[in-house]
Structure 1
Amino acid sequence: HKEKNQSAAIETGGEDALVGNVNKLMVSPPGYSGAPRKGHLVFDACFESGNLGRVDYISEFEFDLFIRPDTCNPRFRVWFNFTVENVRETQRVIFNVVNFSKTKSLYRDGMSPVVKSTSRPKWQRLPAKNVYYYRCPDHRRNYVMSFAFCFDREEDVYQFAYCYPYTYSRLQHYLASLERRNLPYLQREQLGLSVQQRRLDLLTITNSGKSLPEKEKKLVFLTARVHPGESPASFVCQGVIDFLVSLHPVAQILRDHVIFKIVPMLNPDGVYLGNYRCSLMGFDLNRHWQDPSPWAHPTLHAVKQLIVQMNQDPRVSLEFYIDVHAHSTMLNGFMYGNVFEDEERVQRQAVFPRLLCQNAPDFSFSNTSFNRDVVKAGTGRRFLGGLLDDTSYCYTLEVSFYSYMTAGSTAPVPYTEETYMKLGRNVARTFLDYYKLKSKSMPVRCRKDKNPQKTTMSTGY
């Protein structure tokens, strides 16, 4: 009877009622009683960044999986992250993720979920040939992503996710390890707390003392993870930080001339809860920059206050704001910028993405676009683009959840955690080209100029 009610609820859109994650849920065949057997799969998503709202047994080989919608917002169902245990060796299954809220998806283009297991703790993508994405008549014509998998080790716990997870705890461990290094040019502070009292961290990276006086330095502000399911943004952001705190000659010069302010996780509650787009209270924070509330959007409110305050300080030259995201339908890294009436300002705004193109083989200038779409008015890029003066540049940096095409390649190359971080390192080093900084101590080979046209290109604006 309960099953009947459940399926009726689903037909009427009742999956919105899925509010909690499955918790060590054993799924045995209907009508089965007795001791659980090996092969009666146990699903769990009650852990940090976990998401799986419900599992239906179809046959011993097939299971329907329902994504739990974002907390307080049934519109978004994309991110999933769950474990499976109590498997039988050589057990073959098909998992159908049946309630995606989006129609377009990179699953159409060869993307596949990631998997790891106890004995193989490094995440890897499933083979694309085992993944199918289609519109399903059985599920209100929703889009379904099915993937086939063969469990091979009985003792292992297997974990599946939409993309490589990067949790709040992982960030905290990473920042704590940076702090323990006592680097003189790195400062970590708590800018505020989220609704659930998680830290909003702010890093400041710059050389003090013998380098340029602070007032002559440029300031670059970078934020990430306003959309919690966009985990690649955290790997890109960590790549930026790793490079800037390193002993690389380029990093040392950048710290002499630039102050970097970085907020690595704008939406820590959403990340912790396993949401795709929203905060704890169901807000898409990237639509609330115009008027963030200190109680409903405290992290956004704190960051906006800081930026407004720095912008009013005549000693601060705030030149860049970059907000890092991940994109669910496009390939490569690319940027969104703003539209201006002043043609010269439009041209100047294109310089940084053009230079990044030269440094990062996975960055696409042809995907980069400049817009003033009404829907995007509450985003960081649009709001700050209107607030800051015309010597400042505001961008959204997007990176594909799936893969990139390089100039000479015929097939897409799937991103790994490492290649996401590499994009971050390349973003950081592009500031050297942008500001055309040089140093006597810096060996020329560190510039890695692959393209002799680079200098002519960058001075053309």
Structure 2
Amino acid sequence: MPDSDDSDNEGGLGNVNRAVMRPPGHSGKAKRGHLCFDASFETGNLGRVDYISEYEYDLFIRPDVCNPRYRIWFNFVVDNVRQDQRVIFNIVNFSKTKNLFRDGMTPLVKSTSRNKWQRMSKKHVYYHRSPEHRSNFILSFAFAFDREEDVYQFSICFPYSYSRLQMYLAEVEGLKLSHVRRELLANTVQERLCDILTLGHTTPPGASKPTKTVVVMARCHPGETPSSFIVQGLIDLLVGDHPVATELRKYVVIKIIPMLNPDGVFLGNHRCSVLGADLNRTWQEPSQWGHPTIDAAKKLLLSLDADKSNGLEIVLDLHAHASLFGCFVYGTTYEDVYRYERHIVFPKLLSQNAEDFSPINTIYNRDPLKLGTARRLLCSQLSDSVNTYSLQVSMHGYIDRHGEGLISYTEEAYMRLGRDLGRALFDYFKAMQVIPSTGRGPQAPSTTTERPPRNQSTDAELERYRLTDSATSSSRTESPRTPALSGAPRVSVLNMSQLARGGHQLTYNRLRARRCRSSHQDTPGKMPPPFSS
């Protein structure tokens, strides 16, 4: 069940390790039905289990290493179950009570015989104040184990481990493509690799070279796993032969730092590094010893900005949000009106490409409490021509624009958002005339077949490290909702200012495809009706 079986067991720091829950007074060998909890694996998190009764267990999230403030991420397995055994799990020590569980989010579950993550049914999950727990908010969920031989895994969101990233990058590197280069940005405190992937054509001396640079960063906060799926979707698009990717690579160099906090990811932290530091509050004065990845990333950005031949244009810091829906952007306000109008162009174009974009949650500000973040610091230290954003995506789902209600994200949906991000970059640089307009843009594959709904997952879990676009880009069909892939560009330089001022009505008018929600699959184990112990 876990992503990695690291022999040094370092991922189990402070986690329960094969803890068997025996009834009071019972001794000897554990019987079937005496649940065994384990989180001593990479990305695992479960600090303590209290036996309340045969049917009820209190679970305690392990705080981030060296920082007791953050207790959100959980990821653990349960085995030694009895056929049709019914239980109630209470997660009792969340550090953030204002979260998406208030709005209907439910834990994820999978088992060894059903190896695809699925959301639990809402009618068996309760987020409430508990008098038995000092009136604190707790998450209670009822579950029935239907197969004795299975091992069941529960998590707050789709795990994406350091080992999985290394396997994926090794696969990309193994393609031996001339326009893909993998390099080491820095070693972490625990000597793990912080990689940087450069995508763009290398040019011989005297030839024209790409004139603009984009930097994308992710997983500064370990528990924000959706950002890793977005990065993988973006890389899948850019390494392939899709017309958007080939045009982007001709004129733009894209540098991707897929995991800024490998130590925290490995240990199963939610927000902090191995030393207990929130790395997204250390950008003002990063320590080469305590925050080596942030220190290296900052030096890289400053050097790219100083070298005007690179033309650093956009810096994107990817995050996941635990209390809001959809994907949205945090930007910066500027006194210079032209710079502000130019700054909001890319989010507008992203809203045209991503159907889950939430203009309501998009914010532009200069919050003094965020001075140590990448977005706030870099917008003041980099050149005026550089646009720095935080791209946020919900850990749960998004509100459908066509009245179909809330749609939960899947792994494939997050990766599709990464591909939408690549299309938005293409539209942006075409609007800025970095990518020349030839009257007819790159031709997309035939759009006669409707694009699969965003909430309909493929077999990405079974083919875990498949390059989703690189192998199929020549035959994959696209929805009519992405007209930038065929015909003239949607935004010209002449009407760019109109786009910046035009509000969000322009966004909705451009959306053409209506999706159909796929039917929900049954979760592992038939969920029991609510019952009391």
Give 1:4's aligned residue: none
Structure-1 residue corresponding to 2:338: 344
CA distance in 1, matches of 2:239, 2:97: 41
> Which position in structure 1 is the counterpart of 2:194?
200
The C-alpha deviation readout for 1:169-189, integer Å capped at 9, x for no partner, is 000000001111101100001
Structure 2 equivalent of residue 301 of structure 1: 295
Question: 1:389 aligns to what?
Answer: 383
1:442 counterpart = 2:437: no
1:418 counterpart = 2:454: no
Q: Counterpart of 1:79? A: 73
Other structure's SS at 2:344 match: helix
Matched AA of 2:491: T
Q: CA deviation at 1:274?
A: 0.2
* Higher mean displacement: 288-297 or 365-374: 365-374
**CA drift at 1:409:** 2.4
For 2:412 and 2:204, locate their aligned partners in 1 and report how far apart those are by CA, in whole Å.
Answer: 34
Residue aligned with 2:116, SS: strand
Q: Kindly provide the amino acid, as one letter, of the partner of residue 323 in structure 2.
A: T
Q: Which has the larger displacement, 407-416 or 225-234? A: 407-416
1:127-151 deviation line (CA, Å, top 9, x unaligned)? 1211111122322332201111110
- Rounded to whole Å, the distance in 2 between the matches of 1:284 and 1:443 is 44
Alpha-carbon deviation of 1:450? 5.4
Contact 2:210 2:250 in 1 (8 A): no
C-alpha contact (below 8 Å) 1:186/1:204 kept by paired residues: yes
- For 1:11, the equivalent position in structure 2 comes to none
- Number of residue pairs matched? 444
Shift of 1:312: 1.2
Change in 2 beyond 3 A, CA 1:317/1:415: same
1:455 is matched with which residue: 481, 491, 500?
491
1:309–1:94 distance in 2 versus 1, CA, 3 Å: same
Over the aligned positions, Cα root-mean-square deviation in angstroms equals 2.1
CA offsets per residue over residues 158-215 of structure 1, 9 Å max, x none?
1101100000000000000111110110000111100000000000000223899566
Which residue in 1 is equivalent to 2:524?
none
Secondary structure, counterpart of 1:239 in structure 2: helix
Q: Which amino acid aligns with 2:410?
A: T
Equivalent position SS for 1:329: coil
Q: Distance in 1 between matches of 2:201 and 2:489?
A: 32
Q: Equivalents in 2 of 1:396, 1:82: separation in Å?
A: 30
Structure 1 Cα separation of the partners of residues 360 and 489 of structure 2 = 18
- Structure 2 residue runs without a partner (length 5+): 1-11, 446-477, 501-533
When residues 141 and 214 of structure 1 are mapped into structure 2, their CA distance, relative to the original with a 3 A threshold, is: farther
> What is the identity, as a one-letter code, of the residue corresponding to 2:291?
H
Taking the aligned partners of 1:449 and 1:296, their CA distance within structure 2 comes to: 44
Instruction: Tell me whether 1:117 sits opposite 2:153 in the alignment.
Output: no
Residue equivalent to 1:270? 264
Separation in structure 1 between the aligned mates of residue 126 and residue 496 of structure 2, nearest angstrom: 44
- The offset of 1:32, in angstroms, is 1.2
Task: Answer yes or no: is the 8 Å Cα contact 1:113–1:162 preserved in 2.
Answer: yes
What are the superposed Cα offsets for residues 14-45 of structure 1, whole Å, 9 maximum, x if unpaired? xxxx9710000000111112321100000000
Identify the residue that residue 372 of structure 1 maps to in structure 2. 366
Q: Distance in 1 between matches of 2:308 and 2:409?
A: 41
Please list the CA deviations of residues 347-392 of structure 1 after superposition, one character each: whole Å capped at 9, or x if unmatched.
1111111111111100112211011111111001111111111111
Give 1:459 deviation, angstroms.
Answer: 5.4
Given candidates 305, 308, 312, the residue that maps to 1:314 is: 308
Alignment counterpart, residue 233 of structure 1, candidates 227, 235, 249: 227
Does structure 1 retain, via aligned residues, the 8 Å contact 2:13–2:267?
Answer: no
The answer on whether the counterparts of 1:229 and 1:275 sit within 8 Å (CA) in structure 2 is yes
Which residue identity lines up with residue 455 of structure 1 in the other structure? V
Partner Cα separation in structure 1 for residue 268 and residue 335 of structure 2: 41
Write the distance in 2 (CA, Å) between the matches of 1:367 and 1:211.
46
CA distance 1:315–1:60, shift in 2 (3 Å)? same
Change (3 A) 1:306 1:453: closer
SS state at 1:238 partner: helix
Do the aligned partners of 2:441 and 2:489 also contact (CA within 8 Å) in 1? no
| Distance change in 2, residues 1:361/1:33 (3 Å) | same
* Structure 2 Cα separation of the partners of residues 366 and 350 of structure 1: 14
**Aligned partners of 1:109 and 1:247: how far apart in 2?**
40
Cα contact 1:212–1:256 (8 A) shared by 2? no
Identity over aligned pairs, percent: 53
* TM-score (norm: length of structure 1): 0.92
Which amino acid in 2 is paired with 1:121? N
Shifted more, 340-349 versus 51-60: the winner is 340-349
CA 1:170/1:254 → structure 2, altered by over 3 Å: closer, same or farther?
Answer: same
Of 80-89 and 306-315, more deviation after overlay is shown by 306-315
Shift of 1:455: 3.1
Q: Is the CA contact 2:209–2:251 (under 8 Å) kept in the aligned structure 1?
A: no
Letter in 2 for 1:442: P
Higher helix share: 1
Whichever residue aligns with residue 407 of structure 1, its letter is R
Contact map agreement 2:49 2:58 (CA 8 A) in 1: yes
Bigger CA drift: 117-126 or 36-45?
117-126
Q: In structure 2, what is the equivalent of residue 90 of structure 1?
A: 84
Match of 1:249 in 2: 243
Q: What's the secondary structure of 2:158's corresponding residue? A: coil
From 218, 238, 250, the equivalent of 1:224 is 218
Contact 2:211 2:309 in 1 (8 A): no
- After alignment, is 311-320 or 290-299 more displaced? 311-320
Q: Distance in 1 between matches of 2:256 and 2:201?
A: 15
Give the Cα separation in 2 of the matches to 1:159 and 1:27: 17
Read off the aligned partner of 1:276 and give its amino acid letter.
H
Q: Residues of 1 paired with 2:319 and 2:208: CA distance?
A: 30
Q: Using a 3 Å threshold, how does the CA distance of structure 1 residues 453 and 413 change in structure 2: closer, same or farther? A: farther
**3-state SS of paired residue (1:122):** coil
**Alignment correspondent of 2:21:** 27
> Could you tell me whether the CA contact under 8 Å between 2:15 and 2:39 is conserved in 1?
yes
Q: Which residue of 2 aligns with 1:147?
A: 141
The letter for the 2-side match of 1:303 is A
Q: Does residue 360 in structure 1 map to residue 396 in structure 2?
A: no
Is the CA contact (8 Å cut-off) linking 1:79 and 1:274 kept in structure 2? yes
Report SS of the residue matched to 1:209: coil
